[in-house]
């Protein structure tokens, strides 16, 4: 067991974005039936993608799907209990830390680190910034809660570069039976990938991704909270479209 742990740690130290994408694509192909709709709505230039949470593996699954389209996404990852557990790894695979606890110091971190990294990717690459407006998925998370990070990011980009980036709403849907299997192996501190792979080797789970048309904040009414609610509502609509379609 100790040898396996050492091998695992050695492999983790060698991971970067490209190697991680190759591994994820292999896992997805073997364990999941991925169904993607309306890929034409994904722009070729940098944008912000907004997603509703379906499972604890959403970021990895969506990243692997985008990589098959030669597209790259940098997801906002909760710093507390997640990013801080493996900061070197998550830095190498180019994810962006965000502190979610309501503290003054965390607001400074958001503006000085999270926004700064996101603006750099948006301006200097054709990559996507991936954000879950509901925040992190956990047993404590209020699924009706909506965060305004997307609005802050889009407005900051417009102030700095005098150009507005679109928000691409994406609806994720997973059937309850498959969701229960996936979430069984997850926690805020650790997702038990090894156990998931071993115990589900003969199962094939369905995962649905519905990509909506671009939204522009300047076209949306209301303050930052109301604009955020419109965005997550659109994600949920796209998710419900799939749910109704496959009934």
Specify the pTM.
0.89
Give the chain as a 3 state SS string: CHHHHHHHHHHHHCCCHHHHHHHHHHHHHHHEEEEEECHHHCCCCCEEEEECCCCCCHHHHHHHHHHHCCCCEEEEEECCCCHHHCHHHHHHCCCEEECCCCCHHHHHHHHHHHHHHHHHHHHHCCCEEEECCCCCCCCCCCCCCCCCHHHHHHHHHHHHHCCCCCEEEEEEECCHHHHHHHHCCCCCCCCCHHHHHHHCCCCCEEEEEEECCCECHHHCCCCHHHHHHHHHHHHHHHHHHHHHHCC
What value does the mean pLDDT take over residues 127-155?
80
Most confident of the ranges 87-91, 146-150, 158-162: 158-162
- pLDDT at residue 25, as a whole number: 86
Q: Which CATH number fits domain 2-245: 3.40.50, 1.25.40, 3.30.70, 3.40.1130?
A: 3.40.1130
HSE value, Cβ hemisphere, 13 Å, CA-based, for 16:
1
Report in angstroms the alpha-carbon separations of 49 from 38, 89, 216.
Answer: 14, 23, 12
Residue 74 has φ and ψ, to the nearest 5°, of -115, 110
pLDDT interval class at 169 (50, 70, 90): very high
Percent of the chain whose pLDDT exceeds 70: 88
- pLDDT at residue 80, as a whole number: 86
- Alpha-carbon distance of 191 to 65, in angstroms, equals 19
What value does the mean pLDDT take over residues 223-240?
96
């Amino acid at each position: 067991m100790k040898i396996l742990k050492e091998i695992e740690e050695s492999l983790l130290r060698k991971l970067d974005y490209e190697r991680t994408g190759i591994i994820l694509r292999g896992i997805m192909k073997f364990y999941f039936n991925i169904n993607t709709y309306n890929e034409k709505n994904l722009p070729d230039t940098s944008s912000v993608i907004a997603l509703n949470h379906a499972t604890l593996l959403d970021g990895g699954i969506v990243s692997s799907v985008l990589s098959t389209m030669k597209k790259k996404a940098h997801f906002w990852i909760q710093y507390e209990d997640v990013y801080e557990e493996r900061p070197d790894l998550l830095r190498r695979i180019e994810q962006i830390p965000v502190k979610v606890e309501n503290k003054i110091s965390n607001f400074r971190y958001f503006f000085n680190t999270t926004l700064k990294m996101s603006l750099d990717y948006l301006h200097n690459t054709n990559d996507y910034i991936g954000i879950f407006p509901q925040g992190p998925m956990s047993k404590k998370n209020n699924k009706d809660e909506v965060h305004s990070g997307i609005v802050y990011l889009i407005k900051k980009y417009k102030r700095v570069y005098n150009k507005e980036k679109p928000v691409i709403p994406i609806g994720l849907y997973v059937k309850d039976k498959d969701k229960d299997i996936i979430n069984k192996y997850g926690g805020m501190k650790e997702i038990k990938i090894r156990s998931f792979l071993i115990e589900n080797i003969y199962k094939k789970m369905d995962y649905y991704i519905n990509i909506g048309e671009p939204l522009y904040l300047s076209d949306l009414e209301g303050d930052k909270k109301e604009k955020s609610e419109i965005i997550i509502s659109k994600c949920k609509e796209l998710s419900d479209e799939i749910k109704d379609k496959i009934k």
